[in-house]
Structure 1
Amino acid sequence: MTDTTGNTQDTGAPPAPGSRPRKSSWKYIGPGIVVAATGVGAGDLVATLIAGSNFGYTLLWAAIVGCLVKISLAEAAGRWHLATGRTLFDGWASLGRWTTYFFGVYVVVWGFVYGAAAMSSSALPLQALFPGVMDLEWWGIACALVGLVFVWFNQYAVFEKVMTVLVGVMFVVTVYLAVRVVPNLGDAFAGLLPVLPDEKDSILNTLGLIGGVGGTITLAAYGYWVNAKGWTNTGWMKVMRLDNRVAYLTTGVFVIAMLVVGAELLHSANIALAGGDRGLVQLGDILEEEYGTATATFFLIGFFATSFTSLIGVWHGVSLMFTDFVTRGRKRAAPSRGEEIASGAREKSWPFRAYLLWLTFPPMILLFAGQPFRLVIVYGVLGAAFMPFLALTLIRLLNSDRTPRDWRNGILSNVMLALAGLLFLILCVKQIWDQPWSEFF
């Protein structure tokens, strides 16, 4: 609802497309919570735990730098949507057909493999909470179907509220664990100094921590969620920037809390944690031994909230991106495209629902058959290439006449995006180099 001046009144209702806020206010935040919840998955928490168990607090500074890098990327994506009134895929398409080919292959292969990974990640804590009830595969299928039904029948406003509740659960659990293990504040503050561990491959391990946590396609989806919230013009720019900072402040709390747990509970006892999502199940067993069943159960609930927010976040956000990918070829790009997303029409469209089905049903095959080796390699390469693709294309778009002059990159934005592009390019080359190509052919 808007008043006669075009400013949004404090009614609590979603703003109408074209409206402007009276002022930047905490009551507007929402897309940032969604992107934080979706971007931080179980695998990210395991990576941070392992960093803490291997290096103590030494890489705390790297985790914080990682959050600052992601702030710059998400802010750039949101600024493009608000400043131009066009979607990020509109911008990519303006750079040439190669972006369409890359994204088309990426979103199909990535969605197929990620769907199975998200199901397994959400199933693991449920299987640990309710042992003997169902096999892991059937828990995964149940989570996927619940996610499908939830996203299919609800639009952004309800989606955001549910994500906010789940983020609250994640926040309480991670902070509780960090306090429970009694952090060494002196060592923690020392970890803010940019020091590299005295071990082999320490630079690559550090870069991996900086780039890994919260760094997924959901950074690109942020602009779509901004539009879905009803923010479609530059009047919402200050609100978007506040919202984005809240997103990565929240992410920073998750990261720091889990690094504290790794440093205090695992590093001090010289306990090695398994890689992948199963490492969190192992942590649950360790917590039960140290602090009792109640703490372990509380942690598994937080583990499920972390995994399931990533599942439904991708089901919603990447489906919006896929819808834009499909419909752009059928319509001429126009400044009103952001308002079309804000109207909720895309969440009812056939491309949105088709991609939801693609994320849900074909990946179920992988739960039972195992992930095909060649497909996993292609998935790894495409996934590694996406983040440098995002960073470098944003630099191009936001320094050109595609963006109104007042909203183009400043020096700080260019420096941060260039650092992000270089960081992700190094990690991309490393991941491609590490693939077992000799076994591919």
Structure 2
Amino acid sequence: MTAETTASEPASTDWRSRLRRVGPGIMAAATGVGAGDLVATLVAGSRFGYALFWAILLGTVFKMGIGEAVGRWHLGSGSTILAGWRSLGRWATNFFGVYIVLWGFVYGATAMSATGLPLNALFPGLSVRYWGMICGVVGLVLVWLGRYRLLERLMTILVGVMFVAVVGTAVLVGPNIVALGGGLVPRLPEGSLAYVLGLMGGVGGTITMAAYGYWTMAKGWRTPRWIPFMRTDNAVGYLTTGIFVVAMLIVGSELLLGQGMADGDRGLLELGQRLAADYGQWARLPFLVGFLAVTFTSLLGVWNGVSLLFADWWRTWWARPETGSASGTGHESTAGMRSWPFRGYALWLTVPPMSLLFLDKPFQLTIAYGVLGALFMPFLAGTLLVLLNSARMPAAHRSRWLSNTVLTLCLVLFVVLAVDKLIGYVS
């Protein structure tokens, strides 16, 4: 891809100019929040009401902190995150290479299956499996075109649909403002610790957070002068998805409290049926459309953003340090949308995972995927903490106390989550 916006310096950095250019942050945040995250929030609301509202707010702050760190590294250092990892040693790029290949194979099937669920509910003539395959191919075609501006506009529209459907559902069931306000006080109801950790660390926290810097560069932001724009963009994106998640907590608390709810993406279908029973079919259909927007934004964002990560990993891994070709100026990342590694990985996300739609996930593959997935977010937070305080980052843009505090808290949280998951896999 060639960048569709110019890389010239911004004429003004006022709030109006920043808000007009919002886009990559919405893509990153919407991609990271999938159906599984919404279900987790619904289940938390159905079990604990508004008591965990504070955990959602804290998790939103954590995600904004990591997103800002990723964007600042790309714009402040002029290097991509892969170039930064390469500077830490081959171990970092080797780990990421194994992770991204295995993750893509399993996630491709997961994303297609999740997208097929609402389509099957809307149009039951075709099974979830085949609707998922169709969505995977549509996503492949859209990213194959290599047009960032088209993807940004399409995902912004889908986020608008998500907002209307999810927030509209919360308004329909009617939030208890007093109880919601009470949820601002941190407390841990019995049996809630796992949900607290999940809401703080899980919602919107995926490999796609590392893709954010590539989208800012595709937007034409490639120098430190764009850092204020990036910060506003990142905040708008995660505040928007924070509102989505709070809306689902309201729905879970008001509609499902004490009734239990199925885990997994099918829990959203169960919610649609309950909306139909309580309010009529007119309430179910818009919700299913919003469910489709949630799942398809995740699919489309991954097909593009993680393919960009893979293309840059391929270039960085094969680069010879003595030539300086691994510096990662950012131009390689934006040129990657039409490269064969980018398109090859998009195919890897789409075609081989279709076999998993016919078969149960192999046990060993699922375990390996889960272990590597548990280790990725600590890896991201830890390496950002090192890179943003190193000599590789110009002094003016190194992390200050606030960023270092947020990243350290994120690292601790993600390590705790990783240990919990690994213990679960072993046991």
Does TM, scored on the shorter chain, surpass 0.5? yes
* Equivalent of 1:37 in 6, 26, 30: 30
TM-aligned CA distance change 1:386 to 1:336, over 3 Å: closer
User: C-alpha distance in 2, partners of 1:357/1:235?
Assistant: 36
> What does 1:251-330 align with in structure 2 at a 5 Å threshold?
251-267=241-257, 270-330=258-318
User: C-alpha distance in 2, partners of 1:204/1:52?
Assistant: 13
3-state DSSP of counterpart to 1:369: coil
* Equivalent of 2:170 in 178, 198, 204: 178
- What residue number does 2:142 align with? 150
> What does 1:214-229 align with in structure 2 at a 5 Å threshold?
214-229=204-219
- What residue number does 1:210 align with? 200
* Equivalent of 2:110 in 107, 117, 128: 117
3-state DSSP of counterpart to 1:20: coil
The answer as to whether partners of 2:4 and 2:148 remain within 8 angstroms in 1 is no
TM-fit CA distance, 1:329: 3.3
The answer as to whether partners of 1:221 and 1:321 remain within 8 angstroms in 2 is yes
> What does 1:231-250 align with in structure 2 at a 5 Å threshold?
231-250=221-240
- What residue number does 2:6 align with? 16
TM-fit CA distance, 1:334: 6.1
Amino acid at match of 1:229: K
3-state DSSP of counterpart to 1:143: helix
TM-aligned CA distance change 1:336 to 1:140, over 3 Å: closer
Please provide the CA RMSD for this pair. 1.3
The answer as to whether partners of 1:230 and 1:339 remain within 8 angstroms in 2 is no
User: C-alpha distance in 2, partners of 1:145/1:291?
Assistant: 35
Q: Is 1:28 paired with 2:21?
A: yes
TM-fit CA distance, 1:328: 1.5
3-state DSSP of counterpart to 1:337: coil
TM-fit CA distance, 1:50: 0.5
TM-fit CA distance, 1:19: 2.8
The answer as to whether partners of 2:166 and 2:247 remain within 8 angstroms in 1 is yes
- What residue number does 2:52 align with? 59
- What residue number does 1:365 align with? 355
Q: Is 1:351 paired with 2:341?
A: yes
The answer as to whether partners of 1:90 and 1:333 remain within 8 angstroms in 2 is no
The answer as to whether partners of 2:308 and 2:337 remain within 8 angstroms in 1 is yes
TM-fit CA distance, 1:73: 0.3
User: What is the count of residue pairs matched by the alignment?
Assistant: 418
The answer as to whether partners of 1:21 and 1:236 remain within 8 angstroms in 2 is no
Q: Is 1:49 paired with 2:42?
A: yes
User: C-alpha distance in 2, partners of 1:436/1:367?
Assistant: 26
- What residue number does 2:420 align with? 430
Amino acid at match of 1:89: L
User: C-alpha distance in 1, partners of 2:193/2:268?
Assistant: 25
TM-aligned CA distance change 1:265 to 1:66, over 3 Å: same
Amino acid at match of 1:29: V
The answer as to whether partners of 1:112 and 1:362 remain within 8 angstroms in 2 is yes
TM-fit CA distance, 1:218: 1.0
* Equivalent of 1:383 in 373, 390, 393: 373
- What residue number does 1:102 align with? 95
User: C-alpha distance in 2, partners of 1:130/1:205?
Assistant: 33
User: C-alpha distance in 1, partners of 2:104/2:331?
Assistant: 26
User: C-alpha distance in 2, partners of 1:282/1:175?
Assistant: 18
- What residue number does 2:78 align with? 85
User: C-alpha distance in 2, partners of 1:277/1:136?
Assistant: 12
TM-fit CA distance, 1:204: 2.9
* Equivalent of 1:135 in 110, 120, 127: 127
The answer as to whether partners of 1:323 and 1:346 remain within 8 angstroms in 2 is yes
TM-aligned CA distance change 1:314 to 1:263, over 3 Å: same
Amino acid at match of 1:396: V
TM-fit CA distance, 1:20: 2.8
User: C-alpha distance in 2, partners of 1:21/1:323?
Assistant: 32
TM-fit CA distance, 1:316: 0.2
Amino acid at match of 1:155: R
The answer as to whether partners of 2:139 and 2:300 remain within 8 angstroms in 1 is yes
User: C-alpha distance in 1, partners of 2:11/2:167?
Assistant: 33
TM-fit CA distance, 1:339: 3.0
User: C-alpha distance in 1, partners of 2:325/2:263?
Assistant: 44
Instruction: Judge which range, 333-342 or 225-234, deviates more.
Output: 333-342
User: C-alpha distance in 1, partners of 2:36/2:346?
Assistant: 22
The answer as to whether partners of 1:38 and 1:218 remain within 8 angstroms in 2 is yes
Post-superposition Cα deviations, 1:290-343, rounded to whole Å, max 9, x if no partner, equal: 11101101000000000000001000000000000001234434666213434x
The answer as to whether partners of 2:83 and 2:326 remain within 8 angstroms in 1 is no
The answer as to whether partners of 2:4 and 2:218 remain within 8 angstroms in 1 is no
The answer as to whether partners of 1:93 and 1:100 remain within 8 angstroms in 2 is yes
The answer as to whether partners of 1:84 and 1:335 remain within 8 angstroms in 2 is no
- What residue number does 2:186 align with? 194
Q: Which runs of 5+ in 2 are unaligned?
A: none
Amino acid at match of 2:413: L
With normalisation by structure 1, the TM-score equals: 0.93
The answer as to whether partners of 1:21 and 1:235 remain within 8 angstroms in 2 is no
With normalisation by structure 2, the TM-score equals: 0.96
TM-fit CA distance, 1:436: 4.6
- What residue number does 1:162 align with? 154
The answer as to whether partners of 1:87 and 1:223 remain within 8 angstroms in 2 is yes
Runs of 4+ in 1 over 6 A off after TM superposition: none
The answer as to whether partners of 2:75 and 2:221 remain within 8 angstroms in 1 is yes
User: C-alpha distance in 2, partners of 1:273/1:116?
Assistant: 24
User: C-alpha distance in 1, partners of 2:56/2:81?
Assistant: 27
